[in-house]
Structure 1
Amino acid sequence: MRTIGCASWDQTPATPCGMPCDRVHPSADDREKPDASYVSHQGDHVFDPSVQPWDTAVAPPPRDDTDPLVAARNGFFRGAGADVRGTAAGVPFSGDLTVLLEAEYGVRPCSVPSWKADALSREDTAVASLRRACRLAVPLTPEALLAHSHDGPRLAAVLTEMWPETVRRHGEQYAEETLRHMLLRGAPDAARTAFLLDCAESAGLRPLSAAEAAHHASCHDRGVRHAVWRYLHQLPDGITHLPGTGAAADPYERLLLQPQVLAGRDGWPATGIVVAQTMLQGALDTPGHGSSGGLSVLLGGLGDRLALSAGIGCVLTVVTSGHEELERDPLLLRERRPGHWVLRLPVDAAASPQPDEWPAHRAALAWWATRLLGALPRPVDLVHVRYGDDGSLALARAADRTGARLCFTATPDPHRNLARKHAEAGPEDAERAEVLRDDLHRVFCADRLVDRADAVVGIPGRPGTRDLLRYFPSLGTRYGPTGPAAPPEGIAPYVPAERETSLRQAMLEELFADGGRSDALSPDDRALPLLLCVGRLHPVKQQDLLVRTWLATELWRTSTLVVVGGSRERPTLHERRMRATFGPLVAGREAAARRLALVPAMPNDRIRRLERALADTANGVPAWYVCPSVKEEFGIAVLEAMEAGLPAAGPRRGGVPHYLRDGVNGILLDTGSAAGLARGLHRLASVPEERRRRMGQAARNTVTERYSVAEMAEALRAEYLAAIGERSQGGS
């Protein structure tokens, strides 16, 4: 909603061939405006230094900040030059990071040696140039923008962001005629055809008649076929040109071809606002499976509680479902709790996509979200997205098309580790450059969400809130030196079952059933200290490092280790890879293997019941909860373990230090290396039993006194109502 200026626009966007595109120019109307933030000089865009759209009252960044990304972004957004060469926290970084930052942010014009510039691919050059144009709101013509439309997913994401402004500035008729010319002039490749049709659909344009569009559906390419069907849905006579559902090859296509797909819409309240919260990765009710982690637990409890809050009519938690789940259950809308509904967006994949797969699904996801949100009994008033990626941008587009406000939870990731991660990878790492490009893409996605959001919130605790202003200079302009609000996070209260005591005993009996099983421990080891680790199996969670360190430090001789997470029936690639590391670690070490239990993920109520069983001193199991993650933004699983009465050990990086006080209610770990984790585990093992119990009680007190989901719901309710009120009163 707010556009912040930058230091310079020193080159025109490159065409796919790498040459400047002479069709990229401001319109005649724009050139006549005295407040335009550029001047035209021989067809190039040159930044006019007399126009400064940034807030000069914001203090400049510290001069001793050597993070190159911070330097580049502050130089760009604050209108000050910056040198992006140097070190990141003392780690020197290499030329390709310098080149990419200078190409994208333009903070040192002409500083890139020609031999380095030649190393950039054509896509790199085009992506960097167009991201800068997008941040500056440079009004590309339809021809100039669409000339790039077959240069890869990262570039397509930038074009998708720029397209609405291009249509607005140059007119729907001009854009429609350009699309028609490109679709009919020859035989564009499948990806380009699908992109052009999606551009038309997203802007409500009709460059092709229903009959002309249906002709493209005969293409054997699945992506083109689906783009045609999405386009036909918006035409007055388009439905008549869709094939019947009998032509569908799978449950996804059956839904795509149905004129109406929502059922179960009775019982919606007549008053109060409708809030949609998104969880596009993983499933809501299966934490620990695939991409489902603490966020699924958080949003489940938050949605239940928020639906009961004053002024809230109902809450929608928006998730995604792939072919396998759609085959088992085609119902897309279901009430989870009173006033809390789950809306499933179909995706054309076997299961919910991984984060790096979202660019390929973005257009379809935006279409499905627009279609389904628009088909609800009442319009959605606000959409809250929580990841800086293409999936969230798709939902942001749907919010805009349906008239909903947008709230975005911003985090300083991947920003704060980008330069260090790149420097530490080493030039011999084959994936190093691609990871860097992915991280820069996510930074761009987060910028777009910040720019488009009616409200931005952070995650509580330092350094998260402080780093937001460091990595998002525009937030300082918008919210002042304290930054945006950071509503408290919390967990839902545990509700014991009717036979709670017997169920807890049964869980312990099952866990200590047989040390010869991979998912159980020996009953003889029940009195040993137990380390419990719960979470999705993923490299960032570092369960493999925990097992390796537990073995290397010889702690297996005096303790047991239980790792809970991952799907046994439908494991993801990350889960298979993580599990594949465990076997070799204990190969030939039968005694150690008997003290390691690898338990598949289980429902949240069972996890919390197990934690209570372990925390109960009457059961005789001295237990710790251990989180070996590289970092946790907040750590819902850590909070749940603490609330059960388990002392916790968690990472120093991220949000855990906000509530875990070292030596008081747990132990902070250096999880950045095996040596650091080993020191932490040795320290944990040396804690006397009486002190361990006091830590467990302190942990429980911390959570029950400060981290209630009710407080979180109330804080967010206030943010939502304020955002809606500002917009209705004419706010941006």
Structure 2
Amino acid sequence: MPGDEFSRLRGEIYLSYVPGDPEGLRALVRGLSRPRAEADPVLEGMVLLRAASLRPGAAAPDEALERLPHLGRNPLLDRCVADALRGREGAEEGLRRRADQPDGERAAFACAGSAGLTPFDAGRTAAALSPDRDPETLVDVLGYAAASGFRELSPRIRGLLTRPLPWGVLEEARAALADLEESPPGPSGSAPPPASGGAASLTQTLFHGDPTRPGRGSSGGVGTLVREFGAALTDLGLGVLSLVGYDSRECAYPYVARESAGSGGPIRRVPVYLSSPAPAGFSGASGRIARSVLRALRSEPARPGILHVRFLDDASRASALAARILGIPLAVTLTPDPHRSVCGPDGRIRGRSGEELRDLVNRIWIGDDLLAWARGVLAIGRNTLSETLIRYYPQLEDTRGRVFAGVDEGVRISVPAPDLDVPALLGDPRRDLGLDPAAVGRPALLSVGRLGAVKGQANLVRAWASRGLWMRYNLVLVGGDLENPSSEERLVRDEIRESVPRECLGRICHLPALPNEAVRALLRWFSARRPREGFDVYVCPSLKEEFGLSILEAMAEGLPVCAPLAGGPSTYIRNGVNGFLVDTRDAESLGRELRAALERCGQDPARVERIKREARRTVEERYSLDAMAREYADFYRRAIGTEVEK
């Protein structure tokens, strides 16, 4: 069987075990574990609970009942318990006992709400709605009260609105009141919203950042794509609604429930109280995410034709569960990661343990669930399905009742650019990292992207400083909310500044996130100018890129690019022809390969011009946003019109 060691393991498990066989699930865990690693009771619990959730039956499985006294101690296990109990009878007494224990009330109510169970009456629920409870308990109990249809608790919930509680709790109270006052008595039903008429409509979810805040927080190229892609689909007659997650605990920016994305259709923000920043906080808030997405979908005037999720994480899985409850078809984007990153360069599995192993196993199972539930399966890259995904998802061999497509992502070819005084922007003396105005004319390495460890900006700074590149090239970074950074942004921002030697000051500039039109204007300015010595280069230092929209935008503007070997860029960059592929695994490798690429072209301006022309031509011929939108629209319409074989 071709492929790496992990793809062979997946194939062997697929052929040897039926779905849900605990021995098959254990075989996956063993295959991914570090040699001689101690047995992990959390992983064994995940195995048993997943097997139980996939086993048919009306009664609560023993594996889940045995875990009830331990609810609240591990978010992954809690979610697995809720999965195993969903729609089954017999767990009510165990949940009531857990709720009466000092550390169990929140977890018991959260589990009951996630599983669609009603073990607590209005009186017990009212007792848990005391304002002296911690915020997370109040959020989960409010969600349970609304889902259970306890209208008699409306006065008590209104009372919470008069208390000095966190905004996220107050928002959940307002949402619970709206649920109770707009729904008939009793538990909230699963009846879908009214069927839409006219053109088929798309709802897409985005819990990684906000498309109105590109380059800030966890919003990177996907946020920009969602906005621009929505506009292109709307032009093709497909209505688009974007559900955007909003962390109601952190409240990192002002909350606007609904706003227009221009011609890209409305953006509706979905408040979710996360225990920790995204994406780590998704697993502990999966029930809250599903509840918030359900509310959003139920309240829309027309039922979506399809819901599209793009990530293998608990937020996407929770959104997919909401769609299943409402009978809305699901489209899922499958990517080779995390599967492709399981093995090292030698093709052998790199063993893991602890939280890293648990997270990996969870994401692999999420991918399997989303594929099992999907009406439409989409891959990024024209040949990804047949050449890569089939190795890691052997179940793709069964094509019954599904629509498949492999689509190359795209960017706008021509973008109206605002007037931008780039030298003044780069040399602004108010910046802590800005260029010396006298040095603006030097050639530059330019990099645009959200601030994140996986994006590799600190590695780029170290590579630039330690390899002597700073003596010839300026370094210009764009991205991040530098004034009000998230916790991850703050860590990367500080690491960047700690990596800049004193002698390099005045040769590096860090600009905050800019609107996409301004980014394109900046790229265009660098592409058009001709420094006296050398040439300007766009560098993507990410440890990996699934596809690399920012790289395509730089190519569209005619900049030579250096992009990661790992991930999607190798499918469209021909090394030395329309760009360069470099090893970005660490600062040393990146610096060595950047220097080599720059030296190869430094003495040959004609070659640089050929690379720039080829870069632009590659995007124009194969990676335009309009072409991408046409293929997506065809995919959505086929998926909406397909009856899934039961």
Same fold (TM over 0.5): yes
Q: Which has the higher contact order (CA 8 A, sep 6+)?
A: 2
Pairing 1:125–2:44 present? yes
Q: 2:321 aligns with which of 372, 388, 397?
A: 397
Q: What residue in structure 2 maps to residue 341 of structure 1?
A: 266
> Structure 1's 597 and 195: CA in aligned 2 closer, same or farther, altered over 3 A?
same
Query: Size of the alignment, in residue pairs?
Result: 617
State the secondary structure of the residue aligned to 2:423: helix
Q: Is the 8 A contact 1:102 1:112 kept in 2?
A: no
> Structure 1's 455 and 633: CA in aligned 2 closer, same or farther, altered over 3 A?
same
Q: What residue in structure 2 maps to residue 18 of structure 1?
A: none
Q: How does 1:473-552 map to 2 (within 5 A)?
A: 473-478=394-399, 484-497=404-417, 500=418, 503-504=419-420, 506-513=421-428, 518-552=432-466
Q: What residue in structure 1 maps to residue 184 of structure 2?
A: none
> Structure 1's 369 and 584: CA in aligned 2 closer, same or farther, altered over 3 A?
closer
Quote the Cα distance in structure 2 between the aligned partners of 1:222 and 1:439: 30
Q: What residue in structure 2 maps to residue 58 of structure 1?
A: none
Quote the Cα distance in structure 1 between the aligned partners of 2:506 and 2:36: 55
**Offset of 1:161 from its aligned partner?**
3.1
Q: What residue in structure 1 maps to residue 67 of structure 2?
A: 148
State the secondary structure of the residue aligned to 2:208: coil
Quote the Cα distance in structure 2 between the aligned partners of 1:145 and 1:418: 30
Q: How does 1:82-93 map to 2 (within 5 A)?
A: none
Q: What residue in structure 2 maps to residue 42 of structure 1?
A: none
> Structure 1's 324 and 640: CA in aligned 2 closer, same or farther, altered over 3 A?
farther
**Offset of 1:112 from its aligned partner?**
13
Quote the Cα distance in structure 2 between the aligned partners of 1:186 and 1:417: 39
Q: Is the 8 A contact 2:201 2:306 kept in 1?
A: yes
Quote the Cα distance in structure 1 between the aligned partners of 2:524 and 2:357: 42
> Structure 1's 226 and 583: CA in aligned 2 closer, same or farther, altered over 3 A?
closer
Pairing 1:257–2:173 present? yes
Quote the Cα distance in structure 2 between the aligned partners of 1:552 and 1:212: 63
Q: State the Cα deviation string for residues 135-188 of structure 1 (Å, max 9, x = none).
A: 566877355424324251122222333333xx2xx5xxxx2xx34322444654
Quote the Cα distance in structure 2 between the aligned partners of 1:288 and 1:624: 20
| 1:225 aligned partner, one-letter code | L
**Offset of 1:424 from its aligned partner?**
11
Q: State the Cα deviation string for residues 512-549 of structure 1 (Å, max 9, x = none).
A: 456x9543212332332211011112221111111111
| Farther off after superposition, 554-563 or 135-144 | 135-144
Q: Is the 8 A contact 1:463 1:655 kept in 2?
A: no
Q: Is the 8 A contact 1:657 1:668 kept in 2?
A: yes
> Structure 1's 231 and 643: CA in aligned 2 closer, same or farther, altered over 3 A?
same
**Offset of 1:479 from its aligned partner?**
7.4
Quote the Cα distance in structure 2 between the aligned partners of 1:144 and 1:656: 45
| RMSD, aligned α-carbons | 3.6
Pairing 1:582–2:496 present? yes
**Offset of 1:242 from its aligned partner?**
4.0
Quote the Cα distance in structure 1 between the aligned partners of 2:29 and 2:387: 30
Quote the Cα distance in structure 2 between the aligned partners of 1:548 and 1:359: 34
> Structure 1's 422 and 581: CA in aligned 2 closer, same or farther, altered over 3 A?
farther
Q: What residue in structure 1 maps to residue 634 of structure 2?
A: 718
| Farther off after superposition, 680-689 or 381-390 | 680-689
Rg larger for: 1
Q: How does 1:174-185 map to 2 (within 5 A)?
A: 175=89, 178-185=90-97
Q: Is the 8 A contact 2:433 2:506 kept in 1?
A: no
Q: 2:542 aligns with which of 611, 624, 629?
A: 629
| Farther off after superposition, 388-397 or 521-530 | 521-530
Q: State the Cα deviation string for residues 559-588 of structure 1 (Å, max 9, x = none).
A: 11111122112212322222222333333x
| Farther off after superposition, 244-253 or 563-572 | 244-253
Q: 2:552 aligns with which of 608, 620, 639?
A: 639
Q: How does 1:287-298 map to 2 (within 5 A)?
A: 287-298=214-225
Q: What residue in structure 1 maps to residue 162 of structure 2?
A: 246
Q: State the Cα deviation string for residues 433-472 of structure 1 (Å, max 9, x = none).
A: 3212211211111111111111111110566752211111
**Offset of 1:410 from its aligned partner?**
0.8
Q: Is the 8 A contact 2:247 2:274 kept in 1?
A: yes
> Structure 1's 186 and 702: CA in aligned 2 closer, same or farther, altered over 3 A?
closer
**Offset of 1:333 from its aligned partner?**
2.0
Quote the Cα distance in structure 1 between the aligned partners of 2:606 and 2:135: 64
> Structure 1's 228 and 248: CA in aligned 2 closer, same or farther, altered over 3 A?
farther
Q: What residue in structure 2 maps to residue 668 of structure 1?
A: 581
> Structure 1's 705 and 390: CA in aligned 2 closer, same or farther, altered over 3 A?
same
Quote the Cα distance in structure 1 between the aligned partners of 2:314 and 2:230: 23
**Offset of 1:340 from its aligned partner?**
0.6
Unaligned runs of 5+ in 2: 182-194
User: Identical aligned pairs, as a percentage?
Assistant: 30
Q: Is the 8 A contact 1:210 1:237 kept in 2?
A: no
**Offset of 1:271 from its aligned partner?**
2.1
State the secondary structure of the residue aligned to 1:148: helix
Q: What residue in structure 2 maps to residue 601 of structure 1?
A: 513
Quote the Cα distance in structure 2 between the aligned partners of 1:370 and 1:321: 15
> Structure 1's 448 and 193: CA in aligned 2 closer, same or farther, altered over 3 A?
farther
Quote the Cα distance in structure 2 between the aligned partners of 1:298 and 1:191: 43
Quote the Cα distance in structure 1 between the aligned partners of 2:28 and 2:577: 49
Q: How does 1:427-446 map to 2 (within 5 A)?
A: 433-446=354-367
**Offset of 1:332 from its aligned partner?**
1.5
Q: How does 1:167-206 map to 2 (within 5 A)?
A: 167=87, 175=89, 178-185=90-97, 187-189=99-101, 192-202=104-114, 204-206=116-118
State the secondary structure of the residue aligned to 1:637: helix
Quote the Cα distance in structure 2 between the aligned partners of 1:367 and 1:711: 35
> Structure 1's 603 and 107: CA in aligned 2 closer, same or farther, altered over 3 A?
same
Pairing 1:283–2:207 present? no
Q: State the Cα deviation string for residues 203-223 of structure 1 (Å, max 9, x = none).
A: 554333323321222372333
State the secondary structure of the residue aligned to 1:597: strand
Q: 2:121 aligns with which of 195, 204, 209?
A: 209
Pairing 1:363–2:287 present? yes
**Offset of 1:731 from its aligned partner?**
3.7
Q: Is the 8 A contact 1:633 1:655 kept in 2?
A: yes
**Offset of 1:668 from its aligned partner?**
1.1
Give the alignment's TM-score, normalised by structure 2: 0.86
Quote the Cα distance in structure 2 between the aligned partners of 1:440 and 1:181: 31
**Offset of 1:334 from its aligned partner?**
2.1
| 1:711 aligned partner, one-letter code | A
Q: How does 1:92-111 map to 2 (within 5 A)?
A: 105-107=25-27
Q: What residue in structure 2 maps to residue 17 of structure 1?
A: none
> Structure 1's 116 and 462: CA in aligned 2 closer, same or farther, altered over 3 A?
same
Unaligned runs of 5+ in 1: 1-60, 82-100, 263-267
Q: What residue in structure 1 maps to residue 12 of structure 2?
A: 75
Quote the Cα distance in structure 2 between the aligned partners of 1:434 and 1:365: 22
